[in-house]
Structure 1
Amino acid sequence: MKFSSVLILLLLLVSTSCATSNPVPDANDGSFIAAETAEDAQPGEAPPPETEDKRPLTSDEEAKAALAINKLELVEDDIERNKIIEELVSLGPRYLTFFRTVDRDAVAMDMMFVIRRIERDNPGASATVVEAKDPENPEIKPDPKDPNPKEVKEGPTIPEYTGKLDDFNRVEVERFLSSRLEQARRLLDGGRYEQAQRIAEAAITLLPDTKLRSEFDALIMQARGES
C-alpha cells in the first residue's frame, strides 16, 4: 500500500471519530439554565408596612384595663407591681386615651410611666389618639327646627389626663414620692438596681422640681454604678 493511501486512511479515521463524539448540549434541553437578565429588572416590591391599629377600645378591653389598674392600686408586692405595669405597657398605643383619663393619686406615677413607655416604644403614638364613641350617647345630628343648625350640642366628654401639676395636690404628691423613694431604697439595698432606678426616674418624670430631686438623682447614679 502506498504511503499516500495510508495517509488518506488515517485522515478518514480521524474525521470519523470527531463526527461520532458527544454533541454539545442544546440550551433548550434542560442541560443548563440561561442567565440572561434584563438590565431594568427590579426585585419584587416589599409588602406595605402594617398600619397602626386605630380601632376604638371595646367595653371588654376597657374593663380588662380597668381591672389591671385596680390591681396596681392595691398591690403591695414590688414584683407583682412591676408585672402589672409591664402588662399595661404591652397593651399598646390603642389604650393611651384610656390611660390618660385615669385620675387616681395612688397610681398617678405608675400610669405616667406606662404612658411614657408606650409613647417611647411607639413613636408618633402620642399624636394619634383614638376616642371611642359612647353607645349610650350616639352622635347628635342637627335638629332641622334649630334656627342655627351649624351648632351641634356635643355629648359628655371624658377629661383627658395630661400629667400637668395643676391636676395634683402638691403636698399629697410629695408625700407619695417620699414613700416611693423609701421603696426604691429598699430595692437598691436588696440588689434590685433596675427596679429602683425605674421608680426614681418615674418620680422625676412626674414632678421634676420635687424637693426630693437630689435624693432621687443620687439613687439613680448609685443604681447605675451598681448594675
Structure 2
Amino acid sequence: MKKLIVGLLMTAMICSLAACGGKNQSSAGTDTSAVGETAENADSSASSEDVVAYQAGTWDGVTYTNTSLGMCLTLPDGWQIGTQEQIDAVESAGQQVTGNTDNMGDTSSYEFYIYNPNTGSTIAMMTEDLTMFGEVTAQEYANTLAGQLMSYSDQGITYNFNGITDSVIGTSPFVSFAGMAEYQGSYIYQYYAVTENGGRMITIIATGPAEAGQAECEAVLSSIQPLPQN
C-alpha cells in the first residue's frame, strides 16, 4: 500500500510542474512557510548574454551522462529505467489525484525516470522550455512549485517542507528543498532541485517512503558524479 501511495505522490509532483508552467513566476505570492522565508537568500539564476543551448543527456546501458549539467549517474542495483508507457501512466494518474489536467505538451520532456520496484522510491528529471515562463529564476520557479504542491491540501495531501538551499549536482548549481508529504496516513519523503541551463528549466524530483525512502533517494543522488571540466 505504501508503495502505491509513493507512486501517487510522485504523480502529484510531476503534475505540479505542468501547473507551474501556466503561472507568472515572478508574481507568485503563495506563502510556503520555511520555503518562502529563504527566497531572498537563494541563488539567482541570472541569464547570460551568450546562452549555450542545452543538450539533453543520454543513456548508455545503465549509465546516464549529461554534458550540459556536467553529471554522470550509474543506475543503482535493483533500480530500473522507466519506459515511455510508464511515464505516460504516471502523468495520467497524477491528473486524477490532483485534478490538474494541464498538458505540458511539446515544451517539456523527461531526461530520465528511474525507480526501485521493491521499495517504490522514484527519481525523475524533467526539462521545460523557458520561453513558456518569460524572465524567471530557478529560485522563483522553486517557490511557485512549492506553493502549487501545498495547494493540494484540498486533495488530502499535506506537505511540510524545509527552506530552499543552494546545492551542486554534477557541476551545476541548483536550488533545492525537501520535506515530508502526508497522504492517507502515510508519510512520504520528497525532494526537489531546480536549475536553469541553456534556455531550459531543469527539475529533479525524488520521492520514497518516509525515512527509508529518504535515505535511499539521498544515496542515489549523492552517487551522481561530476564530469571533468575542459
Alignment TM-score, normalising by the size of structure 1: 0.22
Q: Looking at secondary structure, tell me which structure has more helix per residue.
A: 1
Structure of higher RCO (CA pairs closer than 8 Å, 6+ residues apart): 2
Q: Looking at secondary structure, tell me which structure has more strand per residue.
A: 2
Alignment TM-score, normalising by the size of structure 2: 0.22
